[in-house]
Amino acid sequence: MRRAVLRVDAATPASRDRAVDALRALAICGVVLGHWLVTALVPQDGALHSASPLQRLPWLAPVSWVFQTLAVFFLVGGHVATRSLASAQARGRSYGAWLGRRLTRLLRPLLALLTLWTAAAAALLLSGTPFGTLHTLVKLALSPLWFLLVFAALTAATPLLVRLSPLWPLAVVLHVDLLRFGLHVGPRLGWVNVAAGWLVPYTLGAAWTRGELETRRAAWTLLLGGAAATALLVTCAGYPASMVGVPGAAVSNLNPPTLAAVTFGLAQCGLALLLRDRLRRAMRRPLAWAAVALANLSAMTVFLWHQTALMTTTAAVFATGRLPGLHTHPDGLRWVAARLLWLPVFTAVLALYWAVFRSCERGTRPGRTAGGGASGRSPVVRVHRVTDRDTAGAGHRVRRPPGGPQGLPPDPRPPHDARPAPSPHRAKPRVRRV
């Protein structure tokens, strides 16, 4: 274990900004824990229905402020994508090859999820499962898909967004909300904010790549300005305090994103930028960095399967009766305390799904095996080194460890073009007659 941890640390180039990976891991963990804390499956009228503790416990809304971290993920995604595109262009790689490689890893885990849930939905339907239960389960399992579709679209549009100011999509969100809530134009107009709302943190990531967010002053401006704007919108403009959707609520800050959700995301991005130096120091510890590297290698797998892990746990113990925090209505502090005790179980079930489906995200390369490759290196080291080549900036060179291919000792001979050319006057070899 210690040797593998040290190998991951040693294989990471010095030019890699480990704070970026740490922010991505924190964002994914925040979303997973947030969903587990505010999602309940309760039997009602002969079928399972989803419920949220925020319905009856609105004072728990600050929980959503901590765990609704999608803006940070889009910030990191915009930063990494623009750096990766610049690096690919510097190496002469085409846009199609660059996009294909990024989308393959993003969408490959999705095929496994869709395959399993297609088979599960068919089996449940044939077994006579109530349609209400089936609708609840499938909707919950496939809820992460909107994120993947938006993120994939923004990734494809990265060449057009490299120089785009975040103020432009922010202005779109502002005007859409003015038309929706001020002039009551119509709810369908709000879906414009699905693209414009998440485009704000994504273009902030591009601004980070351009060096416009390197100062602490810029980060403090985002944090304080975003927090102040969110407070005004919630207290004076009637926006919901919860930054996640609440079943039965007239307005959701997240579906589609509202101006309050976007300004709150600005505050989150400012805080993330302020934490960069501390995260860089923390990531100098080999164990912490190995954990973050492993989380980044399976980020999409964890994100796609965490709701399935919750539903698997709920269904597996349903025959034993209604257990607190799992099958009971989320209507009090007892439910919250019981749900906290279920989090380790959800994590263990998610680990099983991760063990089965992680290869769908990483894939294999020609001449290598999924268990570590022909070189015998840890898959974490091998895949993470591949990621370094994609995410290194155009102005940095990836440092390679000394030695020949696959860690072999270096060839003591000089390169072929550096060896002396054969002399035209070299004596002919003598042929001995037999």
154-187 tens-digit pLDDT: 999 999 999 999 999 999 999 999 999 989 887 8
What confidence tens digit (pLDDT) does each residue in 48-89 have? 888 999 988 989 999 999 999 999 999 999 999 999 999 999
Vertex 190 angle, CA 32 and 53, to 5°: 35
pLDDT reported for residue 361: 82
Instruction: Quickly list DSSP for 302-322.
Output: HHHHHHHHHHHHHHHTGGG--
Vertex 297 angle, CA 140 and 70, to 5°: 45
Give residue 33's pLDDT band: very low, low, confident or very high (50, 70, 90).
Answer: very high
Give residue 318's pLDDT band: very low, low, confident or very high (50, 70, 90).
Answer: confident
Q: Do residues 382 and 368 lie in contact, with contact meaning Cβ atoms separated by under 8 Å?
A: yes
Q: Could you identify the residue written with the tokens 């949220």?
A: 52
Which residues pair with residue 41 across a beta bridge?
50
DSSP state of 418: G
Q: Pick the more confident residue, 383 or 278.
A: 278
Q: Is 280 helix (H, G, I), strand (E, B) or coil?
A: helix
What is the distance between the alpha carbons of residues 353 and 350, in angstroms, rounded to a whole number? 5
What confidence tens digit (pLDDT) does each residue in 235-250 have? 999 999 999 988 888 8
What confidence tens digit (pLDDT) does each residue in 186-198 have? 788 999 999 999 9
Tokens of 349: 């079930």
pLDDT reported for residue 11: 87
What confidence tens digit (pLDDT) does each residue in 91-146 have? 999 999 999 999 998 888 899 999 999 999 999 999 988 898 999 999 999 988 88
Give residue 379's pLDDT band: very low, low, confident or very high (50, 70, 90).
Answer: very low
What is the distance between the alpha carbons of residues 34 and 67, in angstroms, rounded to a whole number? 5
Q: Pick the more confident residue, 191 or 397.
A: 191
**What phi, psi does 234 have (nearest 5°)?**
-75, -45
What is the distance between the alpha carbons of residues 1 and 18, in angstroms, rounded to a whole number? 21
The angle, 0 to 180 degrees and rounded to 10, between the axes of the packed helices 95-126 and 299-316 is 10
Q: Which of 32, 49, 56, 40 is nearest to 242 (CA)?
A: 56
What is the distance between the alpha carbons of residues 389 and 96, in angstroms, rounded to a whole number? 17
Q: Do residues 342 and 326 lie in contact, with contact meaning Cβ atoms separated by under 8 Å?
A: yes
pLDDT reported for residue 342: 95
What is the distance between the alpha carbons of residues 54 and 85, in angstroms, rounded to a whole number? 41
Q: Which of 180, 142, 117 is nearest to 304 (CA)?
A: 142
pLDDT reported for residue 224: 98
How many helices (H) and strands (E) in the chain? 18, 2
Q: What percent of the chain has pLDDT over 70?
A: 83
pLDDT reported for residue 410: 43
Give residue 363's pLDDT band: very low, low, confident or very high (50, 70, 90).
Answer: low
Tell me the average pLDDT across 145-155: 93
Flag whether pLDDT at 376 surpasses 80.
no
Flag whether pLDDT at 366 surpasses 90.
no
Q: Which of 193, 189, 205, 185 is nearest to 169 (CA)?
A: 193
pLDDT reported for residue 75: 97
What confidence tens digit (pLDDT) does each residue in 398-432 have? 444 444 433 334 444 444 444 444 444 444 444 44
Tell me the average pLDDT across 309-317: 91
Q: Do residues 368 and 374 lie in contact, with contact meaning Cβ atoms separated by under 8 Å?
A: yes
Tokens of 410: 């270096």
Instruction: Quickly list DSSP for 165-210.
Output: -THHHHHHHHHHHIIIIIS---GGGGGHHHHHHHHHHHHHHHHHHT
Tokens of 138: 């499938």
Lowest mean pLDDT among 264-268, 288-292, 337-341, 361-365: 361-365
Please state, rounded to an integer, the average pLDDT across all residues of the chain: 84
Q: Pick the more confident residue, 154 or 42.
A: 154
Q: Pick the more confident residue, 35 or 372.
A: 35
Give residue 2's pLDDT band: very low, low, confident or very high (50, 70, 90).
Answer: confident
